[in-house]
């Protein structure tokens, strides 16, 4: 077996695995979208929120569809030795790679801007919908309880909110589950906001996340290099 044939076989097997993985994710995503309750009953109710289930389903469908396209282009392109499909595979992987790099740069450089934008978008929603919209309230209650946080920034996010006007107090998570949660107790408990808490958690696991991201980037670069190698060698055949 020559080197070209070996690379071709590896390209086919690697992308076949990607194709099958993408098909699996797509199938699970459609299952969650169509019958979320059945999915939760099988795999455990990580969250009983219908909204969260819908979001997960869309994410799985998008990722699965992308992996299906990449796997098909790489596998079929290598099998048929099609320069067109190999170039399409290279282009798709390159676009994804550039998007990931851009997202990483934005996440590192514009963290403060992201916090400002989130505060401007989420805080009005908290004031308006918390305690009024059942799904929205449930999601925030689960988040604040599990992360041990209050609001997006702190308890002041609930000032002049529907919840405060209705109950005359803050959510009990803002006072470390003590009631009644008034402004004096909330200020004393100093329960942090959810955004800083999640940001700290991300920073704590930055090493693991960075390693995974680096591994994915290395695979993408290797895939592009192999596809370009096959593309160039086809000119010589």
Using one digit for the tens of pLDDT, what is the confidence trace for 10-24? 888 888 988 998 888
56 occurs within a structural domain: yes
Domain check: are 82 and 157 in the same one? no
Q: Are residues 162 and 225 in the same domain?
A: no
pTM over 0.75: no
Answer yes or no: is 32 within a domain: yes
* 152/179 same-domain check: yes
DSSP-derived secondary structure letter, 191: P
80 part of a folded domain = yes
Per-residue confidence (pLDDT) for residue 50, from 0 to 100: 41
Considering the domain architecture, whether residues 195 and 223 belong to the same structural domain is answered as: no
* Radius of gyration of the chain measured on its C-alpha atoms: 24
Are 18 and 54 contained in the same domain? yes
User: Are 172 and 85 members of one domain?
Assistant: no
Domain range enclosing 70: 3-98+213-236
Decide which of 158 and 202 is more confident: 158
pLDDT digits (tens, 9 = 90+) for 49-103: 444 444 667 777 888 899 899 999 999 888 888 889 999 999 999 999 998 888 7
Q: Give the containing element (helix H, strand E) for 37.
A: helix 36-43
**Domain co-membership, 180 together with 226:** no
How many domains does the chain divide into? 2
Q: Are residues 74 and 34 in the same domain?
A: yes
- Contact in structure between 157 and 126 (CB atoms under 8 Å): yes
CA distances from 178 to 75, 81, 172, 185, 191 (A): 58, 67, 6, 9, 12
Residue 204 lies in a domain: no
Distance CA 162, CA 166 (A): 6
Tokens representing residue 10 in the block: 């590896």
Window from 3-7, 47-51, 118-122, 129-133 with minimum mean pLDDT: 47-51
Instruction: For 168-222, write each residue's pLDDT tens digit.
Output: 999 999 998 888 899 999 999 999 988 887 777 666 766 676 777 788 888 889 8
Q: Are residues 175 and 147 in the same domain?
A: yes
Verify that 155 and 230 share a domain, yes or no: no
My answer on whether 83 and 149 are in the same domain is no
Give domain status of residue 24, yes or no. yes
| Domain identity same for 137 and 177 | yes
């Amino acid at each position: 077996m020559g080197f070209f044939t070996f690379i071709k076989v590896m390209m086919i097997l690697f992308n076949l695995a990607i194709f099958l993985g993408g098909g699996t994710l797509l199938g699970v995503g459609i299952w969650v979208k169509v019958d979320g309750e059945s999915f939760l009953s099988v795999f455990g109710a990580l969250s009983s929120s219908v909204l969260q289930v819908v979001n997960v389903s869309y994410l799985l469908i998008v990722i699965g569809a992308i992996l299906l396209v990449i796997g098909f282009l790489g596998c079929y392109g290598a099998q048929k030795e099609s320069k067109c499909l190999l170039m399409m595979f290279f282009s798709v992987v390159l676009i994804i790679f550039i998007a990931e790099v851009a997202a990483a740069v934005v996440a590192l450089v514009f963290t403060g801007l992201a916090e400002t934008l989130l505060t401007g978008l989420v805080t009005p929603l908290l004031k308006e919908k918390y305690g009024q919209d059942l799904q929205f309230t449930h999601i925030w209650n689960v988040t604040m309880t599990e992360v041990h946080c209050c609001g997006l920034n702190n308890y002041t996010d609930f000032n002049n909110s529907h919840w405060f006007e209705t109950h005359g107090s803050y959510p009990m998570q803002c006072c470390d589950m003590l009631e009644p949660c008034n402004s004096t107790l909330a200020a004393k408990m100093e329960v942090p906001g959810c955004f800083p808490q999640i940001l700290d958690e991300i920073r704590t696991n930055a090493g693991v996340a960075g390693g995974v991201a680096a591994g994915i980037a290395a695979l993408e670069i290797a895939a592009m290099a192999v596809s370009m190698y096959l593309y160039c060698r086809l000119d010589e055949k």
